[in-house]
C-alpha cells in the first residue's frame, strides 16, 4: 500500500516520536524509506514559531543518527538534505520521489488566530501530493 514513505526529520522531540510510527509502517508494508532534513534558508520565512536554524554539520549528524536508528531496526533508508522553506521542500521532495505517504511529527502552536503562524505540518497537509500522517 505504501511503497515509498518520506520521513522529514528535525531536532524536535516530536520527530523522534514519529520515528517509531515510521518504523512500524515501513516494516508492515515493506516500504522504501527516505529521510529528509530541510535547512531553512535565511530568506525563507519561518513557518513554525519554534523552528531553529541548523548548520549543515548538525543536519548531517541528525541524518546519520536517524539512518542508524532505522538501520538498527533492519530498515535501509536513503537520506536527503535540502534547503528552502520546509513545507514546500517536503512537498516537492514527496512529489519527486513518488512518495505514497509522508510521516511527520507535529508541534502544537496552541490557539493562534494569526494564520501566518501556520505550522509546517499544517502546510504540508494542505500542499502534499500524497497522504500525510502527522504524529502528535
Q: Domain residues of the chain, as ranges? A: 4-135
Is the model's pLDDT at 109 over the cut of 60? no
Over residues 44-55, the pLDDT tens digits come to 444 444 444 567
Query: What percent of the chain clears pLDDT 70, i.e. is strictly above it?
Result: 82
Q: Are 90 and 102 in contact (CB under 8 A)?
A: yes
Q: 4-135 is classed in which CATH architecture?
A: 3-Layer(aba) Sandwich (3.40)
Provide the pLDDT for residue 136. 86
Q: Are 104 and 19 in contact (CB under 8 A)?
A: no
Is the model's pLDDT at 59 over the cut of 60? yes
Average pLDDT over residues 127-133: 97
Is the model's pLDDT at 117 over the cut of 60? no
CB atoms within 10 A of CB 41: 12
123: closest CA among 87, 85, 82? 87
- Residue 87 pLDDT level (bands cut at 50, 70, 90): very high
Provide the pLDDT for residue 47. 42
Higher pLDDT, 134 or 52: 134
75: closest CA among 37, 105, 31, 36? 31
- Residue 43 pLDDT level (bands cut at 50, 70, 90): low
Amino acid at each position: 500500500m505504501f511503497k515509498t514513505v518520506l520521513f522529514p526529520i528535525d531536532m524536535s522531540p516530536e520527530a523522534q516520536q514519529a520515528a517509531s510510527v515510521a518504523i512500524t509502517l515501513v516494516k508492515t508494508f515493506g516500504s522504501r524509506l527516505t529521510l529528509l532534513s530541510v535547512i531553512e534558508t535565511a530568506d525563507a520565512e519561518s513557518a513554525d514559531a519554534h523552528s531553529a536554524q541548523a548548520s549543515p554539520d548538525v543536519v548531517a549528524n541528525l541524518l546519520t543518527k536517524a539512518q542508524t536508528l532505522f538501520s538498527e531496526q533492519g530498515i535501509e533508508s536513503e537520506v536527503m538534505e535540502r534547503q528552502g522553506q520546509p513545507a514546500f521542500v517536503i512537498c516537492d521532495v514527496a512529489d519527486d520521489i513518488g512518495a505514497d505517504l509522508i510521516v511527520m511529527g507535529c508541534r502544537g502552536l496552541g490557539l493562534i488566530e494569526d494564520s501566518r503562524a501556520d505550522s509546517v505540518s499544517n502546510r504540508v497537509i494542505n500542499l502534499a501530493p500524497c497522504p500525510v500522517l502527522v504524529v502528535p
